[in-house]
Amino acid sequence: MLPPQASAVETPRRGAALFLSLPILAWALYDFANTIFTSNIVTIFFPFYLKEAVGGSETANQIAGTFITYTNALSSLFLVLLSPLYGVWIDRTGRKKVYLVPFTLVCVVSTMLMGAAAGYWNTDRTLAGLPLPLAAVLLLFMIAKFTYNSGLVFYDAMISDLGRGKEIPLISGFGVAVGYIGTLVGLCVYPLVGDGGFHRSFIPSALLFLLFSLPLFLWYKEPPPKPIAGPKPSFFSGYREIAATFREARSYRAVFLFMIAYFFFNDAVATAITVMGVYATGVIGFSTTKFILLYLVSTVSSIIGSFLFGYVTRSLGAKHSVSLVALVMIASIALASLAFSEAVFWAAGSLYGVAMGAMWVTSRTMIVELTPPERRGQFFGLFAFSGKVSSIVGPLLYGSITWALADYGNIASRIALGSLLVLVVIGLLFHLRVPYERERA
């Protein structure tokens, strides 16, 4: 089979010729696979497990929210320490799959061990006041989240090997849309859970992640690795190169400004994803079953939004598309934080689904358009770095508000969610200053 980039021709491919080519289909199926992990574990069942183990009253629910956001923030901290190296690895070797596979496998194993610790480890011992099985689940979740996000750096960078020019936004939109279909398949584990025993979803979710990752493992053929001239660089030399790239990025004004904007956008996205389940059930009053239905509706909205915005981006350009997505996100967060009826929250969840799916499509395309091809791997590493720093700040902000105002009950969660509005507005202001020439991009 030809290398992925050999199939990319000057004349853009359309329809089945583009989406059903083997490398692109295998790449999209990995998005299908990893979305099962993010939806089942990060967004739904791990937060519900913590609420079940820690929560109960309104005050306890705020503490559960703090646990959720702090564990996510800590996993992102380790990613911040290491993700700058990943882009350097890509640019030096040309390899992505060789790193993606082990990160995925560690994530799968850690998730399975979460299920084993929560369901089968019975002990009265504690660690820092927490039951030892619960402490183990928290630690394993941080490992799983860290390795999942590490793999995404290499996965996202693969897109530049799959197509050229106007094919990129279509491929990006196709991948995200297929990914959100994975959300629907992942929810097939819900009958194992019901209204309790949320840990029973961990092991089957991990197995589904592994199953649908296999096409990428087996079918994707990346380009031959680039030869490295001179002595092999040391592992830690990557930090010096990233520091130099960051200084150089400041001379790429458009890239630098968008990196700041993306920091704030991702801050809001990452935080909302982690808390939406507990917020819907604890604050709005949704049952677990009703939240699953809302999540399905949001997922369908994400599928539509991601696929649609592939074409919107091709038509309007990446910059205008990102601005439009930011406005949709502002509307959805405002509705959710002020919602005092289920109907309003349904509307907010649907709008947020559109914004969440479209943000991945438009931002990935914006990065490809703004970065020089020979440095694209390092810039993807920098954007991952920016995104993961924001994945610390946003959850810490939300968790600190819920912890400090826990005695006020659900008002704490409303204020914490409303604080994300400020982040999106700041991101939009930076984004509007990004120099952008559509024809040149």
Q: What is the pLDDT of residue 276?
A: 84
DSSP letters of 380-439?
HHHHHHHHHHHHHHHHHHHHHHHHHTGGGTHHHHHHHHHHHHHHHHHHHHHHHT----TT
Name the pTM for this structure.
0.74
Q: Residues 324, 328, 333, 338: what is their CA dihedral angle, to the nearest 10 degrees?
A: 130
Spatial separation of the C-alpha atoms in residues 316 and 270, rounded to whole Å: 26
pLDDT tens for each residue of the chain, 441 residues long: 334 444 444 555 555 555 566 778 888 899 999 999 988 998 888 888 887 787 666 666 667 677 778 888 888 888 878 776 777 777 777 788 889 999 999 999 999 999 999 888 887 787 766 778 888 999 999 999 999 988 988 888 887 777 666 667 777 777 777 887 888 888 888 888 866 788 999 999 999 999 999 999 988 887 676 665 556 556 566 677 667 767 777 777 888 888 889 889 988 887 887 788 888 888 888 888 888 888 888 878 887 887 888 888 888 888 889 999 999 999 999 999 998 888 999 999 999 989 888 887 888 788 888 887 777 776 776 776 777 777 788 888 888 888 888 777 778 889 988 889 999 999 999 999 888 765 444
CB within 8 A of 183, min separation 6: which ones?
35, 36, 39, 295, 296, 299, 302
* Domains of the chain by start residue, with CATH: 17-226+238-432 (1.20.1250.20)
Residue 261: both structure tokens together:
């904007």
| Distance in angstroms (rounded) separating the CA atoms of residues 354 and 369 | 22
Whole-angstrom distance, CA of residue 390 vs CA of residue 396? 10
Backbone angles phi, psi at 127, to 5 degrees: -135, 115
The pLDDT of residue 222 = 77
Distance (Å, whole) CA 183 – CA 36:
5
d(CA 208, CA 222): 24
Contact 73, 389 (CB under 8 A): no
Q: What is the pLDDT of residue 37?
A: 94
